[in-house]
């Protein structure tokens, strides 16, 4: 499933956004339900996440990989997680562009899911992914603003 969208980091320069989005510990701070994020190599991380969308919840273990980094404007990201409800894999491109004072982050990628998540939740996967991404960016913007202030 194709997922794309954008998020505006108002009044935050792209260098700051870049630094945040490519720093594992900062990602961990804002990834909803992230219980563990450990660096395992250059740009690769192991993680454990408890994702809950309403009453639906599941614990996933997997990894995050950042590659093809072209600071401060573009990088590729892979995410994979599996747990008892099945698995979710994502692969996509994140682009940062300055709009003067702030930064627009555009993301586009493919999400594939398997097991119960796919066979029972197909109607919700897209929306749920957008929701998690949105929560992540909102959290990041909040933290960056606090830092800046």
Partner 1 sequence: MTQRYVGQALKRKEDPRLVSGTSSYVDDISMPGMLHMAITRSIHAHARIKRIDISKAQRLPGVHAVITGEEVAANCGPVPSAGEIPNMKRPQRYLLAVSKVRFVGEPIAAVVAADKYIARDAADFIEIEYEPLPAVVNPEKAMQPGSPRLYDEFSDNVSYHFGFESGNTEEAFKSANVVVKERFINQRLAPIAMETRGAVATLQMPDNELVIWSSTQIPHLLRTQLALMVRVPENRMRVIAPEVGGGFGSKLNVYAEEGLVAYLAKKTGHPVKWIESRRENIAATIHGRDQIDDVELALKKDGTILGMRVKSIADLGAYFQLLTPIIPTLTGLLAPGAYKVPALKFDQVGVLTNKMATDAYRGAGRPEATYLIERIMDVAAQKLKLDPAELRRRNFPRPNEFPYKTSGGVIYDSADYEKALDRALELADYKGLRLKQAELWKQGKYMGIGLSSYVEICAMGPSTAMPAGGWESGTVRIEPSGKVTVLTGASPHGQGQETSFAQIAADELGITPDDVVVIHGDTARIPYGIGTFGSRATAVGGTAMFLAIQDLKEKMKKIAAHLLETTPDKMEFSPGKLVVKGGSGRSINYTEVVGAAYMARNLPPGVEPGLEATRFFEPSNFTFPFGTHVCVVELDWETGEPKITKYVAVDDCGNVINPLLVEGQVHGGIVQGVAQALHEEVVYDENGQLLTGSLMDYALPRAHDFPEFELDRTVTPSPVNPLGVKGVGEAGTIGSTPAVVNAVVDALAPFGVTHIDMPVRSEKVWKILKGRKAS
Partner 2 sequence: MIAHNFEYTVATSLGEAVNLLQKHGGRAKIVAGGHSLIPMMKLRLAAPEFLIDIGRIPELSYVNKENGKIRIGALTTHYVIETSDAVARGCHALADAAGLIGDVQVRNKGTIGGSLSHADPAADYPASILALDATIVALGPKGERQIPASKFFVDMLTTALEPNEIVREIQIPLRSGRTGSAYLKMAQKASGFAICGAAAVVELDGSGRLSNVGIGITGVGNHAFRATDTEKALNGQKPAPDLLKKACESAGKGIIALDDIHASANYRLDLARVFSRRALEAAIERAG
List of residues contacting partner 2 (CB under 8 A):
5, 52-58, 84-85, 116, 120-124, 126-128, 130-131, 134
Q: How many CB atoms are closer than 10 A to CB 3?
A: 16
118 binds, among partner 2, partner 1, none (CB under 5 to 8 A by kind): partner 1
Of the candidates 58, 86, 92, 109, which one interacts with partner 1 according to CB under 8 A? Answer: 86
Contact predicate 7/137, CB 8 Å: yes
- From the list 19, 53, 118, 132, which residue makes contact with partner 1 (rule: CB under 8 A)? 118
Q: Is residue 116 at the binding interface for partner 1, with CB under 8 A as the rule?
A: yes
Residue 114: which of partner 1, partner 2, none does it interact with, CB under 5 to 8 A by kind?
partner 1
Among partner 2, partner 1, none, partner that 6 touches (CB below 5 to 8 angstroms by kind): none
Q: Could you tell me the sign of the dihedral formed by the alpha carbons of 117, 61, 79, 132, in that order?
A: positive
Question: What does the DSSP assignment read for 77-137?
Answer: EEEEEEETTEEEEEEEEEEEEE-SSSEEEEEEEEEEEETHHHHHHHHHHHHHHHHHHHHHH
Q: Which is nearer to partner 1, 87 or 107 (CB)?
A: 87
Q: CB of residue 127 vs partner 2: minimum separation in angstroms?
A: 4
């Amino acid at each position: 499933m194709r997922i794309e969208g954008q998020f505006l980091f108002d009044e935050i320069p792209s260098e700051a956004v870049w630094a945040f989005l490519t720093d594992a510990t900062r990602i961990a701070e804002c990834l909803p339900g992230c219980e563990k994020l450990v660096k395992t190599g250059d740009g690769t991380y192991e993680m454990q996440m408890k994702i809950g969308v309403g009453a639906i919840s599941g614990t996933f273990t997997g990894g995050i990989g950042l590659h093809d980094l072209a600071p401060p404007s573009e990088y590729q990201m892979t995410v994979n997680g599996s747990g008892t409800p099945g698995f979710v894999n994502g692969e996509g491109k994140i682009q940062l562009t300055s709009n003067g004072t702030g930064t627009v982050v555009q993301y586009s990628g493919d999400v594939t899911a398997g097991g119960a998540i796919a066979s029972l939740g197909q109607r919700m996967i897209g929306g749920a992914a957008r929701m998690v991404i949105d929560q992540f960016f909102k959290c990041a913007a909040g933290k960056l603003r606090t830092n800046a202030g």
